[in-house]
Structure 1
Amino acid sequence: MLRRVRTALVAALAATLGVVAVPGVAQAATVNYVALGDSYSSGVGAGPYDLSTCLRSQKSYAPLWAAAHAVSSFRFPACGGAVTADVINGQVSALSSTTTLVTITIGGNDAGFSDVITSCRFGSTSSCTNAVNTAKSFATGTLPGRLDATYAAIRNRAPNARLVVLGYPRLFETNWCGLLAMSTYKRTILNEAADLLASVIADRAGAAGATFVDTRSAFAGHGVCAADPWSHDVSGVVEAYHPDADGYRYGYLSALTAAIG
C-alpha cells in the first residue's frame, strides 16, 4: 500500500512539473545549454559558417556537445572577435534562470591575440618579443579583473547554471618545419604566453566557482608544425591560428567531455 501511495505521489509531482516519470527509472536531467565566448567557441577555423558576422560553425565543440547529449535547448551567441565587454554587454542576454550549463572561451582577444600573432608571424624577433611581453603584462595586470566581471555577469543572469571555462591550447610545436615557418624562438615564447594565459584564466575561473577545462594536453603534438596539425597556420587570414574541424572535435570536444561527461 505504501509503495502504491508513494508511486502515485511521484507521478502527481511529475505531472505538475511537466515530466513523465516512470517508477524505478531515473529521469534524465533537463539541460538548457548556452555557449558564450570568442572565435574559439564560435568555431572559427572549422567552417562552414552561418550567415552572421560571428563566423559560427556547427563543427565547433559547443554544437557538437549539444548534439551528442540531446539537450533540451541550445543557444549559441559566441562570436568571433569577442572580448569580455562583448560577452557582458551582449551575449549574457541569452542566459536566464532556467539555463543549466554555460561554456565560454574568453580573454585572448582582450590580451591582443591578433596583434601578437601578426607581430610574431610577420615582424622581427624583437617586435615579437615586445608584443608577447606586452600581452603577458596585460594578462597578469588587467585581464583578471575583466574575467571576474564576466563570470559575475554570467552568474547574475544564470544563477542555477554550471559554468565551464575552457582555456586556449598551445598553438605550436617547436620542431624544425621549414624555412618559411616562424623561428623556434618565436614559437617557444608564444607557447609560454599561452601557458601564462591558461594559468590566469584557470585562477579566475576557480575563484568564480567555475570548472576550468585545460585544453593544452588535448592538443599536445597537434600544433602548427606537427605532422598532423589541428590548428591552421597562415592558410587563411581569418582562420589563421585557430583550430580546424579536428581541433574542435578531438581537442576541445574531447577535453570538455572528459571534464563534464
Structure 2
Amino acid sequence: MPEVAAWTQRARYEVSLGNGIVKTRYLPQRVGSNKWVSLGVFPIDGVPKVTLSNTAVNGDGVDDVAWDAVSFLPLAQKPRDIVVAIGDSFSSGEGAKDYFSESDNNGNPINGKPNRFQNACHRSNNSWSLKSVLPGSLLSTKNRIAQGDPSIDYSFVACSGAETKNALPFLTVPDSQRPQSSYGAFGTGQYGEVAQLDSGFIDESTTLVTMTMGGNDLKFAQIMQACVGTIMPRCLEEPLEGDAISAFDATNKKIKDNLYFDLLKIMQEIKKKAPSAKILIMGYPFLIERNLQCFPNISSKEIDQMAQIAMNIRAMLLMLKTAGGAQGIDIVLGDPIDKFQNHSVCANENAGINGIVTDQTEGEVPAINVFNHAIPLGLSAQSFHPNQLGTTLYAEVMNEALRK
C-alpha cells in the first residue's frame, strides 16, 4: 500500500485465481506509510493477477485510489487457521490503544462541519482476537503474524460503534436476497468502509470468525452516559431518546425481540459465505460491580440492572447457539462475566475496563474547538471499554472456549 494518494476507505481489489474464478476484497487504503498489506490466502490454479478499480460503489470522486506493487507468496499448503475478526468496539479493541492508522484518523471537523474523511473504527493491535492462542499453537495470533507463520491468515474488519446492520452484506448478494435487520435496515458500512460481510475476507476457506455484537444496538453508550453523566437517580428507569419505556425495560425487550433475530441473521449470512467456519461470539462483562463501586451517583439497584442486562445477553446467546446449531451453524460461545470478576471499572490497578477517558484519539471528533483549532479533549469512545488487561482477559476466554 503506498503512502501517497492512498485515501479511499473501500479500495476494490479483484484477485483472479487463474481458473476463471475471481475473488473481491475491499480495503481501506489510508495506512499512512509504504507497507505490504495482505489480501488474504487463495487457492491459485493457473496464472493469477490482481486488478484495482478506481471506481467505488457510492464514490463521489473525492477520494484518491492508489496502486503500487503486488506480490504472490506461494505456500506449501492451505493455512491451518484462516481467521476473520468482525464485530463492534469490544472486538475492534476500542480502549486498548495502539490503533492501526487507517482506523483512527481525521476526526477534526473541517470549517466546523463533520469531517467526511474520518475513520474511528479503532482496530487495535492489542485486540483480544490478536492476543488469543488458537488450538494447536503455542503463540498468540499476533506473534504468529509477526513471525510470518504460514499456518495463520488473519483479517480484521471489526469497527467501533458497529451495529448489527453494519455486518450484514449488501454489495455481495443479489438484490432480491439482501438481508435486513429486524428494524428493516439493509447492510451498510461505517466511515466510508463497506459492510463487514461485504469485505470479501469471509469465504469458503475461512476456518474461524470471531465477534462481539449488539451493545450499540442496545444503546450501551447512551446508557452509560445517562448513568455516569447525571446526578439524577434512576437513570435506567427513564427512557432513552427514541424509546417510550424505561431504558432497562427497552434494553431487555430489544435483546429478546430484535438482537436475537439480528445476530441469527448474521450467523446465517456467515454460514452462506463460509460453510465450514466456526463462529465464536462473545458476550459482555459486568462493567461495574456492587463490591467495587466508584460512581456515587449510580445506585446498587442500577448496578444490578446493568448486570441483569449482561446476563440476559448471555441467556440469549445460549438460545442463539441452539437455534444456529439446528441450522448446521457451528457457534461457539465465550462468556467473559466470570473472568472479569473483580476486574470491573472501579478495580483500580486491577481494572480490566477503562473508566472515563478524556484523552481523545486522532479519529475522534474533538469536544473542544477554539478558533477552528481542535483540542483533543472530551469524552472518548475508549471510556468503559476493555483496556489492555481487559483484552487479555477476553483472549483467555476465547482460548478456553475454543478448547472445550
Task: Name the TM-score, length of structure 1 as normaliser.
Answer: 0.84
Q: Cα 1:220–1:152, aligned 2, differ >3 Å: closer, same or farther?
A: same
Residue in 2 that maps onto 1:139: 255
The SS at the match of 2:319 is helix
Where structure 1 has 5 or more consecutive residues not aligned to the other structure, the ranges are 1-15, 21-27
Partner Cα distance (1:206, 1:96) in 2: 23
Note the C-alpha offset of 1:205. Answer: 2.9
Work out whether 1:40 is the aligned partner of 2:90.
yes
Residue in 2 that maps onto 1:195: 311
Q: Cα 1:179–1:202, aligned 2, differ >3 Å: closer, same or farther?
A: closer
The SS at the match of 1:79 is coil
Partner Cα distance (1:192, 1:148) in 2: 22
Note the C-alpha offset of 1:178. Answer: 4.4
Note the C-alpha offset of 1:105. Answer: 0.5
Q: Cα 1:39–1:178, aligned 2, differ >3 Å: closer, same or farther?
A: closer
Superimposed CA distance per residue, residues 191-242 of structure 1 (whole angstroms, 9 cap, x where no aligned partner)? 1111111211232133213011111111111112224111011124211111
Q: Cα 1:177–1:85, aligned 2, differ >3 Å: closer, same or farther?
A: closer
Work out whether 1:86 is the aligned partner of 2:166.
yes
Partner Cα distance (2:158, 2:235) in 1: 31
Partner Cα distance (1:258, 1:188) in 2: 27
Runs (4+) of structure 1 exceeding 3 A deviation are 68-71, 176-181
Q: CA RMSD in A?
A: 2.2
- Out of 47, 54, 67, the position equivalent to 2:142 is 67
Note the C-alpha offset of 1:162. Answer: 1.1
Work out whether 1:120 is the aligned partner of 2:227.
yes
Residue in 2 that maps onto 1:58: 125
Higher-RCO chain (CA-CA 8 Å, sequence separation at least 6): 1
Count residues in correspondence: 238
Where structure 2 has 5 or more consecutive residues not aligned to the other structure, the ranges are 1-44, 46-74, 104-118, 133-140, 170-194, 238-245, 326-330, 359-379
- Out of 278, 288, 295, the position equivalent to 1:162 is 278
The SS at the match of 1:208 is helix
Q: Percent identity?
A: 27
Superimposed CA distance per residue, residues 140-173 of structure 1 (whole angstroms, 9 cap, x where no aligned partner)? 1111111111111111111111111111111112
- Out of 323, 344, 347, the position equivalent to 1:226 is 347
Residue in 2 that maps onto 1:11: none
Residue in 2 that maps onto 1:23: none
Residue in 2 that maps onto 1:242: 385
Partners of 1:165 and 1:205 within 8 A in 2: no
Partner Cα distance (1:214, 1:179) in 2: 25
Partner Cα distance (1:56, 1:46) in 2: 9
- Out of 276, 290, 293, the position equivalent to 1:174 is 290
